[in-house]
Structure 1
């Protein structure tokens, strides 16, 4: 029997036939690719991908869902988000849309409202949205000034356990690195991060103490077996060179854990030679870079009554060409740092292609929300399609890039372990009790 694309068979063993796959996210299957897309039949058995076969060659006796050349992607990895900040816009917006305005508004909101119940309610809402969109892996940064670090990491650990069968969750501590002078606070934060199995993070800025801060952070990470994920140079100031300092610190300390740097906006404002030297150091240090194109385009180069002069993003193509592992992610959603967004990697990918000009060709573009993102998070078993992996897949009616990138793909179908999930999005009215109507 043949089933339509919108109705994969409710069977323990079936085929997604005549599917179009992003070649960069497929392992163990050889086929001629056209602009990074290959055709295949996917055999699903007991929730796993049992075989990847040439199109039309799957056994005839199997129930089939004819994709009619529609795309099939692995579930997404969104590895730079802020689940603790999400959806507070209605309660505390950003009066002028600037970075400093966002910092102030979030600080006010956090001090007044971020108890365990408030953080959990908004975090769960965000995860329900991400799950419906087809995300299976998320890394969030958690604001960690004292005493918020005690509240948010406890909530996160509980939510991570509750969601373990739906979304793999990671968290990194986010705090001004100037706060490290408070030795008792920093020691407690490191212990909480270690005990909850999370990552160290922080916001770097140019200061006389930067070398000491980075050396101290990396030593703490090394001593406790922790990886590091930092917010770096989120500014249009070309004099912000903390990415270079981080790379030098990693090499100086011989740090062997994973280091990720998010944003790195100022790199695109520096002269070519300085940027080239920094990129070479980043590659040598093995640092991964995550660009946040939607949020950075919203915040960067925003001045009253003036049209922005640049896109706000880092030197993504230059980093990639140098062999640096790069990805894109959602960043903030409906909070003072970004007034919009819904943790939908399809939207993130579509906007990244436009803002970063990842097209012409699009051969490897799909990696930025699938394989590369999962690799940055240390999960090479996710964000790809391969025999033996769970059939965690997102099905699209779009057959080629022009169709995929021209519409929001709201009619997508999400499979988790081969079963169609309910893609109903949570109603914003559910948040009225915590953020107001």
Structure 2
């Protein structure tokens, strides 16, 4: 354990940290990507571009960050200290694309085929049968509790907002629960909501009402670039007019936009290019996020390069969901998949597009696994997307990039004046971070070790674990 000798291993987790309101963390190894105010002058850097620094923590905030051994330049030498001995210190991470309202439904409504059509149909059935306020609240709270315990500090969740017709006003129910949960978790996890519906809904009265509901709920307008009941594929004939309608609704209400785009292996799916053109047409640069963008990886090189250049020009943020896209894409019974299902992330970043990694679905029909653990997600992303050799840039995709996308000044960063939220890892190099699950990480919130633990699955059904 951190800063402890062998005889201290039986001490309570986090007990090596001083209990004083102000203390120093010595010899912390921090990836430079998280130090968004810059690496302190003179701080040693290792081969992973990690700085060895001393961090002052006072009254729940980060104070000055100094090169290792120089903390007394900013604080009295008598101030209590804990020595990390060169182990990794990360900020709490950011999951900017997930689905808390779908989560943890796989046991009651499985996807028997494991593919996208099966996921769509199973989710529709589960929504119709079960998604009342109590069910939504229980599963969303469970997902947040998992994320919080693992060290996630900010989440953007997409919320199914289809027209419930005569059955129930699903959008109103879901957004009502979201607002309650967001308020209840304020100060623990920063939570944003995005309206999720097929894009053709915005040409209807429901789309206008939904836009109003999103605006009054402080959310983002969003959707999927496929028709109601359909699949991602070749662009809709009316995609431009539907996007114009969406952008008009967004501008009238001053809403940012977050879309599910081209979640398919069909290279004829070109909605990303249409979204980029609409962003430029409506002068909405810097206010649009596109998730998935899978088909871009299978398009001819010149076509893909032109789209990527337009995405960069439009200032579109791209979110890649590597675990879920690798799970769903190119799936056919009895056949091994031939590609990884993910967007061409390296080409996007090389063109100047800001790319984030996120967790997406968790234990539902779209992805049967997961635990809302962004550290696990970035570890998987490194392997799937080849974000290594060097590893130095990978941490940014789960920290400052999605934090900036969400408009949160300090999320995913370690900077003076920000909340002293950290994940302390029993690893020295980034290779060691990626190589193990780091189940014995220590999460700190506002300078204190987190007492919360990962909830038991029994909590989903009103029971509790026997320990």
Give the TM-score taking structure 1 as reference length.
0.97
Q: CA deviation at 1:397?
A: 1.2
Residue 420 of structure 1 is matched in structure 2 by 449
Preserved CA contact (<8 Å) 1:86 1:123: yes
Q: CA deviation at 1:381?
A: 2.2
Q: CA deviation at 1:429?
A: 0.8
Q: Deviations over 1:42-81 (max 9, x none)?
A: 1111111111111122233121111011100111110000
Q: CA deviation at 1:424?
A: 1.1
Preserved CA contact (<8 Å) 1:133 1:423: no
Q: CA deviation at 1:32?
A: 4.0
CA RMSD of aligned residues (A): 1.4
Preserved CA contact (<8 Å) 1:67 1:397: no
User: Is 2:403 the partner of 1:390?
Assistant: no
DSSP-derived class of the 1:79 partner: strand
Of 97, 114, 126 in structure 2, the residue corresponding to residue 80 of structure 1 is: 97
Q: Deviations over 1:245-294 (max 9, x none)?
A: 00011111222561000000000010100000000000011100000000
Residue 156 of structure 2 is matched in structure 1 by 139
Preserved CA contact (<8 Å) 2:286 2:317: no
Unaligned runs of 5+ in 2: 5-12, 164-168, 227-234
Q: Which runs of 4+ in 1 moved over 6 A?
A: none
Give the TM-score taking structure 2 as reference length.
0.91
Residue 145 of structure 2 is matched in structure 1 by 128
Residue 170 of structure 1 is matched in structure 2 by 192
Q: Deviations over 1:6-56 (max 9, x none)?
A: 421111111111110011111242334222211001111111111111112
Of 53, 57, 67 in structure 2, the residue corresponding to residue 40 of structure 1 is: 53
Q: Deviations over 1:65-111 (max 9, x none)?
A: 11011100111110000000000011101101000000000000000
Q: Deviations over 1:152-194 (max 9, x none)?
A: 1111011101111101000100001122332x21111011000
Quote the Cα distance in structure 2 between the aligned partners of 1:93 and 1:10.
47
Quote the Cα distance in structure 1 between the aligned partners of 2:253 and 2:192.
17
Preserved CA contact (<8 Å) 2:3 2:84: no
Residue 311 of structure 1 is matched in structure 2 by 340
Q: Which moved more, 1:34-43 or 1:308-317?
A: 34-43
DSSP-derived class of the 1:139 partner: strand
User: Is 2:209 the partner of 1:188?
Assistant: yes
DSSP-derived class of the 1:170 partner: strand
Quote the Cα distance in structure 1 between the aligned partners of 2:285 and 2:378.
30
* Structure-2 change in CA distance of 1:385 and 1:109 (3 Å): same
Q: Deviations over 1:128-171 (max 9, x none)?
A: 00000111100000000022111111110111011111010001
Of 57, 66, 72 in structure 1, the residue corresponding to residue 83 of structure 2 is: 66
Quote the Cα distance in structure 2 between the aligned partners of 1:213 and 1:433.
43
Give the alignment of 1:1-400 within 5 angstroms: 4=4, 6=14, 7-26=16-35, 27-28=37-38, 29-30=40-41, 31-34=43-46, 35-59=48-72, 60-146=77-163, 147-182=169-204, 184-205=205-226, 206-256=235-285, 258-400=287-429
Quote the Cα distance in structure 1 between the aligned partners of 2:455 and 2:337.
34
Quote the Cα distance in structure 2 between the aligned partners of 1:433 and 1:66.
41
Quote the Cα distance in structure 2 between the aligned partners of 1:416 and 1:42.
15
Residue 434 of structure 2 is matched in structure 1 by 405
Preserved CA contact (<8 Å) 1:291 1:314: yes
Q: Which moved more, 1:381-390 or 1:95-104?
A: 381-390
Preserved CA contact (<8 Å) 1:228 1:257: no
DSSP-derived class of the 1:403 partner: helix
